[in-house]
Amino acid sequence: MSKQKNKKPGHVVLTIILVICIIIFCISAWQLYKIFSNYHKSDTEYKQIQTDVTSETDDSFSVDFEKLQKQNPDCIGWIRFEHLDISYPIMQGNDNDYYLHRTFEKTNLAAGSIFMDYQNASDFSDMNTFIFGHNMKNDSMFGLLGDFKDESTYKENPYFWIYTPKAAYRYDIFSCYVADADTDTYTIYHGESEDYTAYIQKLKNNSAYPIDVDVDGSDKIITLSTCTASGYDYRYIVNGVLAETVNY
């Protein structure tokens, strides 16, 4: 009669550890797959939208807002940097949560949308307008805003454009910095006032480096905002002042 050899306790422990490691690896691989799949879906959607509704030549750029708003009437504009890979529709919901993780097509994806603060006037008539977007790890959405912490990025991209159904607006960047999430940077002003003049000066003083752009309490501005890589307590801020209006 053959005798069955008993497994040593050490072998059992090693087997258990190996099984646990395999399980952890599989879970991690699945999570990574979901993340990259999520990124791919949002990138594909927005690239298709750009192809469908925008037209670009060496000296012009246009957006088919009739087609865009037929697909989603919550779209109130389009933001574009000429030399930076930021070109997206701007949404506005009934609160600041709806488009946080919903795309232009209202699909639930981590990238969400670029969206205007729900308290702002959708025609950009407020003195200061806030536009938010996620800081995505693949540099999509507002993932490149953090590059403005380096002055070289500003020098290559000193302005951005906002397109609406009625006009195109060029905003010259006058301040770039990192702010606390609960800072008074996020105060909305609907009209001119002494407080707004002081607010403008504070934004200019906050800049991480000096920018020679004139701005005062009579100017309309836009604040672009995204989370920093260090977490949700801080934001990358890029402020632009209205410098040119092109009516259609």
CA angle 47, 48, 52 (to 5 degrees): 120
pLDDT of residue 7: 55
Q: Please indicate, yes or no, whether the overall pTM of this predicted structure exceeds 0.75.
A: yes
pLDDT of residue 183: 85
pLDDT one-digit tens code per residue, 207-221: 999 999 999 999 999
For residue 132, pLDDT beyond 70 = yes
Q: How far is CA 21 from the centre of its chain?
A: 37
The residues with which 139 forms a beta bridge, in sequence order, are: none
pLDDT, mean of residues 159-165: 98
Closest CA to 86 of 153, 165, 10: 153
127: three-class secondary structure by DSSP: coil
Sequence spans of domains, the chain: 47-54+61-247
pLDDT of residue 78: 98
Q: What percent of the chain is modeled with pLDDT above 70?
A: 92
Domain 47-54+61-247 has CATH 2.40.260.10: yes
CB 128 within 8 A of CB 188: yes
